[in-house]
Amino acid sequence: MSSDPPSLSTNAVALSQARLVYDGVTLFDGLDLELPRGRTTCLLGPSGVGKTSLLRLIAGLAKPEPPTQITAHGDVAYMAQHDLLLPWLDVLENTVLGYRLRHAPDLDERRQHAVTLLSQFGLGGALHQLPATLSGGMRQRVALARTLLEDRKLILMDEPFSQLDAITRLELQDLAGSRLQARTVLLITHDPLEALRLGHRILVMAGRPATLGDPIEPPGEAPRDPADPALLALQAELIARLRSAHVTTRGAA
């Protein structure tokens, strides 16, 4: 086992020999992962396999065990599964929350950017509504807008489109895919087509302790046409891998 630190020569994140135990269960042990700079990596796998825990580990929100080594470059924006909106702030102020907490000198300018982004997300008429008045899909759009507004080089996203209807989901995939160009992204999803539309590399996590399979690398730049025959062929391959992952993970539980 090498003790050399993970390399960042071409990667924004390098994770080596990662070990994480949660509630007495070893989620992964000896796991390696690299996130290439300026590329989107999509992570899929059965529920409970450890995808969110891996995301939290990279974000510094979970405590790893030796001999885990994590090397990361750049500030992180993290979007959790839950929207985490503050109930006493309206949509606009929730979107600029990070800048408010940091007492950013350009807060008014950021509010203007937020108004534009929220309008693109279909929330232009809801700027001053409180979270309690919003649907689940609207709340998730606010959380996504807040994440993108942070404009960080490294973005970690946990099922960012899961609460949206099919058409809104496609539209926001297009918008997010365009805004995430040149960013380093790790995106968890349960939707194979979503991963193929947005990801430069697609990984499937399976087993216990979990491992990562060989990446699938769709051709072309994201966001890709969901009707592209080449994409649909890769979707069949990805679904087959996910079925195998479910069998492997259930068998190891």
Residue-wise pLDDT for 158-175, tens only, equals 999 999 999 999 999 999
54: domain CATH number is 3.40.50.300
Query: For 121-132, what is the mean pLDDT?
Result: 97
Q: CA-to-CA distance for 44 and 241, rounded, in angstroms?
A: 10
Local confidence band at 253 (pLDDT 50, 70, 90 cut-offs): low
Same domain, 67 and 188: yes
Q: Where in the sequence is the domain holding 43, given as residue range(s)?
A: 1-75+153-167+181-253
Residues of the chain above pLDDT 90, percent: 82
Same domain, 92 and 133: yes
Give DSSP secondary structure letters for 113-168: HHHHHHHHTT-GGGTT--GGGS-HHHHHHHHHHHHHHT--SEEEEESTTTTS-HHH
Same domain, 213 and 146: no
Same domain, 30 and 104: no
Residue 101 lies inside a defined structural domain of this protein: yes
Local confidence band at 181 (pLDDT 50, 70, 90 cut-offs): confident
pTM for the whole thing?
0.92
Same domain, 160 and 216: yes
Give yes or no for a contact between 117 and 145, defined as CB atoms under 8 angstroms apart: yes
Give yes or no for a contact between 172 and 184, defined as CB atoms under 8 angstroms apart: no
Residue 174 lies inside a defined structural domain of this protein: no
What is the three-class DSSP state of 203?
A: strand
Same domain, 248 and 225: yes
Residue 80 lies inside a defined structural domain of this protein: no
